[in-house]
């Protein structure tokens, strides 16, 4: 989803317009920090109109001066609020633009729906859950549903961005279709599974638009803390004037408002919702649809990842790794038989046998064997092979199946076969026994290939404190080998769907948060039970319903990236909060001396930044407070850089950067602004 | 400042820490229900007591029941004390024929002692009968200390348990706090104090003929017993108006050291107790190290500014040397400085020097310690404040490790943050709002004995002391007016109970949560790295809240002097 510069500019313009619309107090009241700023702005605006409004003792000659000062403060406060609104609008804008693109695919469709025994054409928007529709090649599928009849290839690029068509057919794990995708071939009978407005596309639109965005639990907690801090500083400022008056000092109301706005955590207050929206946006741009922000946040908290072996940890297919001849046979003859019986075997395993044979110098050409009969694998015989024209029958298959086949025909079982088969199994491989007529020639060592780089990923996860558990239907020996090779922390062999469920329950019982991915209908209960469940877009409707995220690329490994995104979201929030609070130190040193020096001149020594005048000090602090918001927008949108490492080193790094940096940066920033102000003669 | 003085201060603090270490373990064993060596002696007594008050010691309470029991007990005790103060002229043990306490003052005094504050708007020897001192004051000094202590124990149980709603049994805890901790320790301290010269008698004031030939009435009474619990229970309300500066309360250097130790012993021990409850000795070490360091810095600042003397005297009159105004020569500067820092760090409120006469910056140290209210802090409540700020710190910085913040395996979520924020908010609120009102009311301003910034410091100090349940005073302020009696009384009540209620509610929430196993992705609270974060957070949030007021008070005053 590349974006052009023009597109970004349109976004910016729209965000600018939105920032003014968001000034509406009814909207702003949801953000207590910025709402306080708005009230402060109203107060200073009133003071601009009448500087003596609150009984302030303004010299008759100084009214103009006071009015100018009040006006400048008002303007800076206005800009502060606008910056905050802009951040939010910008974050929302990206989603809105995306939603519009999606909506365009949702043009009004006609659907051929079954009514009684006949089909009739109605608008797709009139379809209800349970309706049965017919779609023919070249048509758009009118609604989400399950294929109940037929097989066809579907172009899902409107949803996934992936242009290669996928096969959808009745029964099994590939029966779900999504409204708005295009059927390329054949004809499908589909049972609609969603009412209008609740379809996948609808949900996706409302998600990216942020319309259904609810504050996540963590965001709520942080908002409470920020509101609490705002309240504390409100008390601090409100209690100052009576005390100062009793001591004979005069407090300027605009200055008090300025101090208040500087002290309350406006930086994080302004950016908080933008961070959340941008975090969700990052997930979406990653081609994952999260059903709620809560799920993304929970991903950051995950302690245990449950991963299927096949497709996630291994590349999904076994590859021939070695030929192991039985006694009396040579490597070469075994390779020949193996290659020949796999010659027309189109499975990845079969291809890998041919390739392995080529690597030891055995090559056959298909054209020369065009008259042979290819015997495909069947669940019955559990063997596949080739019948040559000379009557030779070549077979390869599971050890027990081949053994039975040989014994039935009166052949002998080589004495060392069992030993070889067992050795292969122990090493985590799958033994395929090759037989020529009744003579067993040896074993093909099929090996699970661990995805490149996965071991390093697991190591990173371990450093992040996340345990990985591999689930596989393999026997314990095979599973242990893969587990060792991939470097997972734990594995479950011969796993049935219930085992996965039990595993999740066990982990949750111990207080851990569990994430898993799945696609089949039998994964659905586990996906629902897991704290983070990632379903594949290619999976069944049931799995997609149960999960709280759907990966449009159908890549189960993405679970790992989602964890990083969740963490990044939390870190960004924490970092900007810390920065915002740490900023207060410098602002105090700018404003307190400026406020009190006319009354207690000795307090001038607290003016450690040597700001040129009290007014300039206050304005500089206030300006810094405002411009830090747009300066941090890129950080809020992009997220704080996250490197997988232990919590404590992460804490130290971020503390130095955002804590210490947050204390020091405003000293420098305020001084520079003060210098600019005095050069411009505004101080 | 002398090297001996500096070392002496550090040695005293170190000795308290040494004694606190085993005591912390003992307190843990006592409240975790484990066997201790005092069992054979006290168990029969406790059984009789439980039978007497009709408590089944095996019944556990959830946080609401625990809180209800605590509040009910506190209310009844406060009303009882109020009654005693109001009716003391009709009651026995009143050899000096002291009249009944006026209602506002009695309210203030009852609020003050039930909250472990011990703010005294009266002079003990003139306003209270012996009975009032014993069953009003000394009684509440025990129970208020015990109340704070058991609240902290209930909280620690909540943090260390999982998937339960029980926090223990309030009545059992309250009884145990007395039988196994406060009474034995108080007995030992009382005897030690008597041995060192503190009087203990029920006879009336002594009347003596002075050398000059005139008659003099010398107040006395059951001083040693009150003194022991006054210090041990971080109470601070003295028998005499002059408090620990009075030669009968604190006759010499040794009693002074003993009293400082008594103040710090249990608050420090409780940090170790927390370490045991949370299965982390390291958290105890980290907290004790950092908080002791802050305590020492405070004591040294006082020492340095007092030893530096008053610049006005130096310039105008040519008088050099330390500022000895309001101090007792028999204690010397180092011990006085440590006493000043300790009495506010541990929120005891006893004084052995007049804080009003300290140099402004030295006066700011006790003020700041009370504003933080967690440099070990008062009995139990200090620990609760420490834990409250730990929760806030964990929440702010915990996000930066990319997980929902957790503290010792318990997730900190919206409910906990809400309650901790409320507890954090109440402290500045009850200090600043009444201070502003007092400064705005001409009648309240009339109570200030000093003009300008120093007078403001007196008012600020009074409300800070009340809010922190400390009880020490910048003695210059006349607090015995209806306004101050009511305002300070309310501040003491809010300052104490709002945070206890909030913290017990948090304890209830935490107890119900499952503990998340620690991994390398977990923020480790019990490390020095996090300890510094904790200190930074409470200094930034705590001190910056009060910075403008400190600038108008002690900081401005000190700068005006030089």
Q: Provide DSSP, A106-119.
A: T---EEEEEETTEE
Active-site position among A144, A202, A252, A308: A308
- Chain B interface includes A236 (CB < 8 A): yes
How far apart are alpha carbons B66 and B506 in whole angstroms?
A: 13
Q: What is the pLDDT of residues A346-371, one digit of tens each?
A: 777 888 888 899 888 888 888 888 88
Query: Pairing state of beta strands A532-536 and A549-551?
Result: parallel
Residue A2's pLDDT band (boundaries 50, 70, 90)? very low
Q: B148: Cβ–Cβ under 8 A, 6 or more apart, which residues?
A: B116, B378, B379, B380, B381, B384, B500
Which single residue is written with the structure tokens 């054409």? Answer: A121
> Reduced to 3 states, what is the DSSP secondary structure of residue A642?
coil
**Which residues of chain B from 39 to 58 reach within 8 Å of chain A, CB to CB?**
none
**Burial (CB count <10 Å: 0-12, 13-18, 19+), residue B380:** buried
The minimum CA-CA distance between B371 and chain A, rounded to whole Å, is 13
A33, A625 Cβ separation under 8 angstroms: no
CB contact under 8 A, B517 and A303: yes
How far apart are alpha carbons A474 and A429 in whole angstroms? 10
Q: Do the two domains A298-313+451-552 and A317-449 of this chain adopt the same fold?
A: no
Vertex B431 angle, CA B430 and B432, to 5°: 100
Element (H, E) at B170: helix B170-176
- B459, closest residue in chain A (CA to CA): A243
CA A168/CA B488 separation, integer angstroms: 77
Give A605's contacts in chain B (Cβ within 8 Å). 559
- Which residues of A are less than 8 Å from B530 in CB distance? 651
Q: Candidates 3.30.70.890, 3.40.50.720, 3.30.1300.10, 3.40.1110.10; correct CATH number of A317-449? A: 3.40.1110.10
Taking each helix axis as running N to C, give the angle between helix A266-285 and helix A32-49, from 0 to 180 degrees, rounded to the nearest 10: 130
pLDDT band at A55 (very low <50, low <70, confident <90, very high): low
DSSP A316: E
User: Scanning every residue of chain A, which has its alpha carbon at the shortest distance from the alpha carbon of B392?
Assistant: A225
Distances (CA, A) of B73 to A392, B146, B242: 97, 12, 31
Quote the pLDDT of residue A51: 80
Consecutive H or E run containing B85: helix B63-87
Among B436, B524, B544, beta carbon nearest to A584: B544
For residue B273, pLDDT over 70 is answered with: yes
**Does the CB of A664 have a partner CB in chain B at under 8 Å?**
no
Tell me if residue A308 is catalytic. Answer: yes
CB contact under 8 A, B399 and A658: no
At B286 the pLDDT is 96
Structure tokens that stand for B404 in this block? 């929902």
The B residues from 498 to 537 touching A (CB cutoff 8 Å) are 514-517, 519-524, 527, 529-530, 533, 536
pLDDT score, position A62: 67
Question: CA-to-CA distance for A225 and B424, rounded, in angstroms?
Answer: 10
Structure tokens at A13: 């313009």
Residues 6+ apart with CB under 8 A from B363: B355, B356, B457, B461, B474, B554
Chain A, residues 130-149, CB within 8 A of chain B, namely none
Q: What is the mean pLDDT of residues B94-123?
A: 90
Nearest CA in chain B to A246: B439
CATH assignment, A298-313+451-552: 3.40.50.1000
In Å, how far from its chain's centre is CA B401? 35
- Please, are residues A162 and A156 in contact by the beta-carbon 8 Å criterion? yes
CA distance B288 to A310: 53
Chain A contact for B551, CB < 8 A?
Answer: yes
Report CB contact under 8 Å: B544, A221.
no
Beta bridge partners of A510: none
Number of DSSP helices (H) and strands (E) in chain A, helices first: 23, 22
Within 8 A of A33 by CB-CB distance, chain B residues are none
Select from A225, A576, A664 the residue whose CB has the most chain B CBs within 10 Å, as the one to mutate to test that interface. A225
Whether residue A274 is annotated as binding a ligand: the answer is: no
**Chain A residues lying within 8 Å of B536, measured CB to CB:** 659
- Quick one: which of B115, B119, B109 has its CA closest to B82? B109
pLDDT (mean) for A155-177:
75
Closest to A235 (Cβ–Cβ): which among B417, B432, B551? B432
The verdict on a CB contact (< 8 Å) between B436 and A574 is no
Which residues are A673's β-sheet partners? none
- Is residue A197 pLDDT above 80, yes or no? no
pLDDT of residue A162: 67
The per-residue pLDDT for B475 is 67
Chain B touched by A584 (CB under 8 Å)? yes
**Of B259, B212, B207, B214, nearest in space to B233 by CA:** B259
pLDDT at A56: 56
Q: How many CA atoms lie within 13 A of B349 on its CB side?
A: 36
CB B259 within 8 A of CB B350: yes
For residues B80 and B458, is the Cβ–Cβ distance under 8 A?
Answer: no
Confidence check: pLDDT of A579 > 90? yes
Of A343, A348, A333, nearest in space to A374 by CA = A343
Length of chain B: 562
Burial classification of residue A386, based on how many CB atoms lie within 10 Å of its CB (0-12 exposed, 13-18 middle, 19 or more buried): buried
pLDDT at A125: 79
Beta bridge partners of A318: A448
Which H or E run includes A335? helix A331-341
C-beta of residue A636 within 8 angstroms of C-beta of residue A278: yes
Nearest chain B CA: its distance from A161 CA (Å): 30
Mean pLDDT, residues A543-566: 85
Q: Where are the domains of chain A?
A: 5-98+208-285+564-679, 298-313+451-552, 317-449
Confirm or deny that A519 is annotated as ligand binding: yes
pLDDT at B490: 96
In whole numbers, what is the pLDDT of chain A averaged over residues? 85
Confidence class of residue A59 from pLDDT cuts 50, 70 and 90? low
Maximum Cα–Cα distance across chain A: 121
Q: Which two tokens stand for residue B210?
A: 């002075």
At A168 the three-state DSSP class reads strand
Test mutation, B398, B402, B448, chain A, max A CBs within 10 A: B402
How much is the pTM? 0.86
Choose the closest CB to B540 out of A243, A584, A650: A584
Q: What is the pLDDT of residue A39?
A: 95
C-alpha span between B360 and B550 (Å, rounded): 10
Q: Establish whether A380 is an annotated binding residue.
A: yes
* Whether A446 contacts A429, CB under 8 Å: yes
**Is A3 a residue whose pLDDT tops 50?**
no
A155 has a pLDDT exceeding 60: yes
Residues of chain B with Cβ-Cβ distance to A467 below 8 Å are 519
Nearest by CB: A465 against B392, B520, B546: B520
**Is beta strand A430-436 parallel, antiparallel or unpaired with respect to A490-492?**
unpaired
pLDDT of B46 higher than 90: yes
Which of A545-554, B40-49, B145-154 is predicted least confidently? A545-554
Q: Using DSSP, how many helices (H) and how many strands (E) does chain B show?
A: 23, 4
Give the mutation candidate from B548, B550, B559, B560 for the A interface (greatest A CB count, under 10 A).
B548
In this model, does residue B78 exceed pLDDT 80? yes
Alpha-carbon distance A51 to nearest alpha carbon in chain B (angstroms): 23
Q: For residue A573, how far is the Cα from the chain centroid?
A: 16
The dihedral built from the CA positions of residue A240, A243, A245 and A249, taken in this order, carries a sign that is negative
Identify the pLDDT of residue A210.
62
């Amino acid at each position: 989803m590349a974006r052009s510069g023009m597109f970004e500019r349109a976004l910016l313009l729209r965000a600018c317009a939105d920032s003014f619309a968001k000034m509406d107090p009814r909207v702003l009241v949801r953000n207590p920090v910025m709402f306080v700023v708005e009230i402060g702005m109203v107060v200073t605006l009133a003071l601009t109109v009448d500087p003596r409004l609150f009984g302030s003792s303004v010299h008759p000659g100084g009214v103009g001066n006071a009015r100018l000062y009040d006006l400048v403060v008002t303007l800076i406060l206005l800009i502060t609020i606008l910056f905050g609104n802009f951040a939010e609008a910008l974050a929302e804008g990206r989603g809105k633009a995306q939603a519009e693109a999606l909506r365009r695919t949702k043009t009004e469709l006609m659907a051929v729906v079954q009514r009684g025994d006949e089909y009739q054409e109605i608008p797709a928007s009139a379809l209800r859950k349970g309706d049965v529709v017919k779609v023919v090649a070249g048509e758009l599928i009118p609604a989400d549903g399950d294929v109940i009849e037929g097989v066809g290839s579907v172009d899902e690029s409107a949803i996934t961005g992936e242009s290669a068509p996928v096969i959808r057919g009745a029964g099994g794990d590939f029966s779900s279709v999504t409204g708005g995708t295009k059927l390329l071939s054949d004809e499908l009978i589909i049972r609609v599974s969603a009412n209008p407005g609740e379809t996948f596309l609808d949900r996706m639109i409302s998600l990216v638009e942020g319309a259904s965005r609810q504050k996540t639990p963590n965001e709520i907690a942080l908002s409470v803390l920020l509101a609490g801090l705002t309240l504390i500083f409100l008390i601090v400022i409100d209690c100052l004037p009576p005390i100062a008056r009793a001591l004979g000092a005069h407090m300027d109301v605009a200055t008090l408002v300025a101090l208040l706005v500087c002290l309350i955590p406006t930086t994080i207050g302004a950016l908080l919702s933008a961070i959340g929206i941008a975090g969700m946006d990052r997930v979406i741009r990653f081609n994952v649809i999260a059903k709620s922000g809560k799920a993304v946040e929970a991903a950051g908290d995950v302690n245990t990842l449950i991963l299927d072996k096949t497709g996630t940890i291994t590349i999904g297919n076994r590859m021939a790794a070695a030929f192991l001849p039985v006694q009396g046979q040579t490597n070469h003859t075994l390779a020949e038989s193996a290659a020949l019986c796999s010659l027309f075997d189109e499975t990845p395993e079969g291809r890998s046998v041919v390739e392995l044979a080529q690597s030891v110098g055995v090559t056959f050409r298909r054209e020369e064997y065009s008259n042979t009969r290819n015997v495909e694998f069947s669940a019955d015989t559990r063997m596949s092979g080739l019948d040559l024209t000379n009557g030779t029958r070549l077979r390869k298959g599971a050890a027990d199946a081949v053994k039975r086949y040989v014994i039935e025909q009166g052949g002998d079982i080589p004495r060392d076969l069992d030993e070889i088969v067992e050795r292969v199994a122990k090493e985590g491989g799958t033994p395929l026994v090759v037989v020529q007529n009744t003579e067993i020639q040896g074993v093909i060592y099929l090996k699970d290939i661990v995805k490149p780089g996965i071991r390093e990923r697991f190591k990173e996860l371990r450093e992040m404190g996340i345990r990985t558990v591999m689930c596989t239907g393999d026997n314990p020996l095979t599973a242990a080998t893969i587990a060792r090779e991939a470097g997972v922390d734990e594995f479950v062999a011969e796993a049935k769907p219930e085992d996965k469920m039990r595993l999740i329950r066990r982990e949750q019982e111990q207080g851990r948060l569990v994430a898993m991915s799945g696609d089949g209908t039998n994964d659905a209960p586990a996906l629902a039970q897991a704290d983070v469940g990632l379903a594949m877009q290619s999976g069944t409707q049931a799995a997609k319903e149960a999960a709280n995220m759907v990966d449009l690329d159908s890549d189960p490994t993405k679970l790992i990236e989602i964890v990083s995104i969740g963490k990044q979201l939390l870190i960004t929030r924490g970092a900007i909060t810390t920065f915002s609070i740490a900023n207060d130190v410098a602002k105090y040193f700018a404003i307190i001396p400026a406020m009190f020096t006319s009354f207690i001149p000795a307090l001038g020594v607290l003016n450690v930044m040597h700001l040129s005048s009290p007014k300039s000090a206050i304005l500089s602090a206030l300006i810094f407070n405002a411009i830090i918001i747009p300066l941090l927008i890129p950080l809020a949108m992009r997220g704080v850089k996250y490197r997988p490492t232990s919590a404590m080193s992460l804490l130290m790094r971020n503390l130095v950067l955002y804590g210490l940096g947050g204390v020091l940066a405003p000293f420098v920033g305020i001084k520079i602004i003060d210098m600019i102000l005095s050069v411009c003669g505004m101080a | 400042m002398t090297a001996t003085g500096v070392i002496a201060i550090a040695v005293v603090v170190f000795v308290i820490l040494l004694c606190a270490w085993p005591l912390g373990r003992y307190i843990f064993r006592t409240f975790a229900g484990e066997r201790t060596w005092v069992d054979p002696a006290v168990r029969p007594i406790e059984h009789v007591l439980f039978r007497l008050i009709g408590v089944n010691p095996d019944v556990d309470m959830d946080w609401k029941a625990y809180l209800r029991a605590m509040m009910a007990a506190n209310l009844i005790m406060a009303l009882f004390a109020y009654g005693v103060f109001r009716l003391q002229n009709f009651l026995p043990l009143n050899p000096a024929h002291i009249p009944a306490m006026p209602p506002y003052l009695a309210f203030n005094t009852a609020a003050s002692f039930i909250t472990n504050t011990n703010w005294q708007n009266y002079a003990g020897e003139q306003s209270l009968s012996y009975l009032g001192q014993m069953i009003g004051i000394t009684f509440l000094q025990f129970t208020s200390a015990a109340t704070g202590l058991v609240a902290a124990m209930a909280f620690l149980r909540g943090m260390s348990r999982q998937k339960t709603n029980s926090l223990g049994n309030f009545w059992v805890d309250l009884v145990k706090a007395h039988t196994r901790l406060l009474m034995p320790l108080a007995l030992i301290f009382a005897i030690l104090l008597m041995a060192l010269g503190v009087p203990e008698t029920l006879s009336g004031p002594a009347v003596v003929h002075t050398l000059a030939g005139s008659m003099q009435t010398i107040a006395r009474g059951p001083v040693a017993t009150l003194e022991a619990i006054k210090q041990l229970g971080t109470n601070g309300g003295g028998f005499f108006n002059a408090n620990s500066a009075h030669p009968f309360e604190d006759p010499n250097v040794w009693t002074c050291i003993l009293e400082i130790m008594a103040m710090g012993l249990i608050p420090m021990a409780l940090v170790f107790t927390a370490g045991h409850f949370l299965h982390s000795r390291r958290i105890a070490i980290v907290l004790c190290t950092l908080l002791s360091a802050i305590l020492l810095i405070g004591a040294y600042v006082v020492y340095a500014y007092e030893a530096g003397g008053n610049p006005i005297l130096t310039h105008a009159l040519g008088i050099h040397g330390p500022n000895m105004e309001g101090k007792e020569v028999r204690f010397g500067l180092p011990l006085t400085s440590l006493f000043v820092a300790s009495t506010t760090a541990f929120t005891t409120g006893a004084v052995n020097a007049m804080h009003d006469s300290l140099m402004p910056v030295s006066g700011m140290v006790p003020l700041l310690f009370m504003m933080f209210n967690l440099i070990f802090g008062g009995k139990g409540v200090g620990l609760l404040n420490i834990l409250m700020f730990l929760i806030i710190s964990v929440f702010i910085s915990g996000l930066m490790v990319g997980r929902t913040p957790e503290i010792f395996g318990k997730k900190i979520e919206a409910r906990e943050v809400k309650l901790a924020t409320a507890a954090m908010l109440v402290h500045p609120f009850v200090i600043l709002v009444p201070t502003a009102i007092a400064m705005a009311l001409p009648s309240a301003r009339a109570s200030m004995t000093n003009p300008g910034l120093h007078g403001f410091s007196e008012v600020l100090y009074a409300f800070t002391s009340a809010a922190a349940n400390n009880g020490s005073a910048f003695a210059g302020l006349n607090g015995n007016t209806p306004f101050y009696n009511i305002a300070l009384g309310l501040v003491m009540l809010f300052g104490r109970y709002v945070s206890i209620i909030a913290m017990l509610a948090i304890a209830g929430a935490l107890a119900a949560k499952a503990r998340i196993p620690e991994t390398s992705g977990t923020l480790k609270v019990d490390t020095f790295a996090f300890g510094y974060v904790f200190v930074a957070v409470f200094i930034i949030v705590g001190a910056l809240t009060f910075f403008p007021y400190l600038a108008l008070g002690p900081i401005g005053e000190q700068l005006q002097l030089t």
